[in-house]
Amino acid sequence: MKFITTELPGVVVIEPQVFADERGWFMESFNQQRFADGLASLGLPLPRPFVQDNESQSRRGVLRGLHYQLPPHPQGKLVRVTQGAVFDVAVDLRRGSPHFGRWVGVELSAANRRQL
């Protein structure tokens, strides 16, 4: 897995390693140790335990809402696309943050297999 920093600290693009042959392809979409090692290599803290996995499907042109959690129940997100493509945006909503109001957008698609 390749971990790529963005303009927002803590927001990372993840490019999994894909193994393809004439039968199709295989990739590891999540591995706790690889995630911990990848984040540590960027100087980022270890993620909270991965405890929930959700999946949604949207029709073309749908805009999904902005989701965030406040302490004491913060929640990390790992977003990927299995069919089609989306433009995923992360926004710093933390008042007092030096990056407050800044955002970063990344195209996630079934073809590029990126995760954010």
pLDDT tens by residue, 86-113: 999 999 988 999 999 999 999 999 999 9
Report residue 78 as tokens: 């790992």
Q: What SS3 string covers 3-32? A: EEECCCCCCEEEECCEEEECCEEEECCCCH
Q: What integer pLDDT is reported at residue 94 of this predicted model? A: 87
- What would the pLDDT profile of 1-35 be if each residue is shown by its tens digit? 999 999 999 899 999 999 999 999 999 999 999 99
Average pLDDT over residues 62-80: 82
Domain spans in the chain, listed from the N-terminal domain onward: 2-53+69-109
User: CA–CA separation, 11 vs 42, rounded Å?
Assistant: 11
Q: What does pTM read for this prediction?
A: 0.86
SS3 label, residue 107: strand
CATH number of 2-53+69-109: 2.60.120.10
| Cβ burial, residue 115 (10 Å; 0-12/13-18/19+) | buried
In the prediction, which pLDDT does 63 show?
86
Residue 77: per-residue pLDDT: 85
108, 79 Cβ separation under 8 angstroms: yes
Q: Determine the pLDDT at residue 11.
A: 93
pLDDT, position 3: 96
**What pairing do the DSSP bridges indicate for beta strands 24-27 and 18-21?**
antiparallel
In Å, what is the CA distance from 59 to each residue of 3, 86, 96, 113?
Answer: 29, 11, 36, 19
Query: What kind and span of H or E run contains 39?
Result: helix 32-41
Higher pLDDT, 70 or 104: 104
